[in-house]
Structures are given as C-alpha cells and as structure tokens.
Amino acid sequence: MDKYPITGRSLERFYPIQGDQFERAYKEHLSGFTSWAEASHAQEWLLFPENMGPHLSIDETSLSRGELYTIISNKEAHGGKGSIVAIIKGTKIEDVINVLKKLSTLERLNVKEVTMDFSDSMHAIVETIFPKAMITLDRFHVQQLCSNAMQEVRVRIVREARKAEIQYREDHTFKLKRRLAHRKKDKTDKRGRKPNRKNEAYKPERLENGDTVIELLTRSRYLLMTSSDNWTDSQKTRARLLFERFPEMKTAYGLTHSLRMIFSNKEATKDSAAESLRRWYNKVTDYDNDAFNTVSATIYQREDEVLNYFVYRSTNASAESLNAKIKAFRAQLRGVIDVEFFLYRLSLLYA
C-alpha cells in the first residue's frame, strides 16, 4: 500500500483478511503515518522541493466534499512518483503564494515553463512565484473553448428543431379534428380519398439513415468532437446529412477543426502558428456567431501564452493525469473521511 493506490478492501480478494481491520492496522502501525513529520500542517500545505524541475504544471483538484486544493506538479514525472511539488489547501492567491515562497529563490528562478488552464488566479500565482517562467496555456483547454461554442450552436439548433416539431404535431392534431368535423357534417359524401383515422399518430420525417431530424442533431454530438479522419462509415453518413440540412453546423465544425489543425501541425513554429491563428480570427469574424466571437476574443487576449505551446510543445496532460489518478484513488476509498491520512498516502505514491 506504500507503492500502489489500493485499499485494504481490495486485498480481501487475494488474502484471507478483513479489509477495514487491515486498513486501520496499516494506518496505526504498519505505515509511518503516526510519526509523519508533515502531519502538523498537512491539511493546509505540503511541499516537496526535491521534486522541483524546469517544467511545471499547476492545476486544482477536489479531495473531499468539494474542498479544492491547488497542486503543482513536475511534468517530467508524467503523473507518477515524484510528480507532486506542492499541495495547498484552497485557491486563494495570497494563501498559495505564502506557501510557495517557502521554496528557495534559486529553485523558483530555475523554472523555465509552467502550463495551466485559463484561470486568472493561477496566472497571478505563477507570475509572482516563478517570475522567469514562460506561461503556456494548455492547448486542449483552448480547443475545449471552441468545442463548447460549437456545442452551443448545436444545442440551439436542437431547441429550434424541437419547437418546430411541436408545431408540426399541433398542426397535425388540428387537421385531424377539422377533417373529423367535416365528415360529421356530410356522411353521405363518399368522394375523395380514404379518410384519416381520428387518432392517427404523427410520424416525424425519417432521413436515409433512419434518424429523425432531432435524433440526427442529438446523435451527432460525439462525431462533432472528433476529427473527420476518425469517423466510421455511419458517422460520415450522419455528418453529411447534418451538414446538408444545417450548413451552420458545417461552419461551426470547420472552425473547430481548423483550430485543432493549427495545434496538430508538427512543422508549425510560433510565428507560423500566429499567422494561421490570424486567418482563423478572420473566419470567425465572417461567421459572426456570439459564442465563437467570445472564444476568439478570449484567445486573442492571451494569444502569446497560447502560442507558447509551440516552443516546448507542452500541455497540461501530466497534471490532468495526476488529477485523474487522485480521483480514481478517492473513488476506491468511496470518499475521503480522513483527509490527513489521504494526503499522507498521496505523498508516498506521487511525491
């Protein structure tokens, strides 16, 4: 248990033990928790200066009952042992800065790069503590902004399609009632086509792949999040029908895909990527959609930090990996009751 994120209960499958009893024995006798030197301040902050490196990531995670902790990690450890540089309770700028100032000035000045998301508080922390570090905004968070804007367009179109279908259903019901009233007036007239049943159900339009219009929009959510190179045959058919029927979705997908391609270009430099980004801005301006205009303005305001990706090709993936491992470990425990002991185990596993 010192080396792996497992619980006492998980060992019951392999050994004749009672998991809860073994967990208590591990905490009170087998581990070094009772003599842990950091115990007095562990719930407020933990620092591991030996894990410092030139390339760091900063992120936040929830350990217990939604309580957020700021985590700084070393990218070179790739979310494994030696990853955690600092765990600090809360996200308040002043509190985090006061703890990180315990690191030596030389260690802080040697940091070359810190990756992060769009958080303003994290930005202020990094600027203060690591003054010589280049700030790189995670490319996947940039792409996520654009993907969210595209989904906003899709959801709006779904809402409009639902309104239209409700109107079609109401019109269908009204026509049935009107025909029924007309037949009651003159039952002797046998001319014309066979009359509709009084309770004939409304049948929405079916497209060539069997989807209704609303199903087409709903089932396109996943394919819109992936590159067209990875679509299956059925997804290609669905995309063709979607783009033919809703050209606006084709425009929104094209903008999202073109931004993804800027970051995926392995030959791109910071300068060439800046030129590509300016062309992308122009496309967004031509589209003139509020959601995409907001994304464009957000990227433009922090363009240099977005383009810093092309210097080291660094992302926040290692921090996200560490965050995912912490959440998975927390899920095994079915929630964290003893935060101090949980932090002790995290320090053994990832620090």
Tokens in use for 239?
């995309």
Mean per-residue pLDDT pooled into runs of 10, the chain (351 residues): 87 87 90 92 96 96 90 94 96 96 96 96 97 97 96 96 83 68 58 56 82 92 93 95 96 97 96 97 96 97 97 93 92 88 94 91
Q: Which whole-number Å values give the CA distances from 4 to 24, 63, 80, in the listed order?
A: 17, 18, 11
Residue identified by tokens 């391609």 is: 261
Q: What is the pLDDT of residue 336?
A: 87
Q: What is the pLDDT of residue 13?
A: 86
pTM of the model as a whole:
0.87
CB of 215 closer than 8 Å to CB of 204: no
Residue identified by tokens 């309580």 is: 67
- In the chain, CATH 3.30.420.10 covers 32-138+315-350
Q: What is the pLDDT of residue 180?
A: 64
CB of 61 closer than 8 Å to CB of 323: yes
Sign of CA dihedral 237, 238, 239, 245: positive
- Domain 32-138+315-350 sits in CATH at 3.30.420.10
Q: What is the pLDDT of residue 335?
A: 83
Q: For residue 142, which amino acid is it?
A: V
State the helix-helix crossing angle for 270-287 and 247-264, rounded to 10 degrees: 170
Q: What is the pLDDT of residue 317?
A: 92
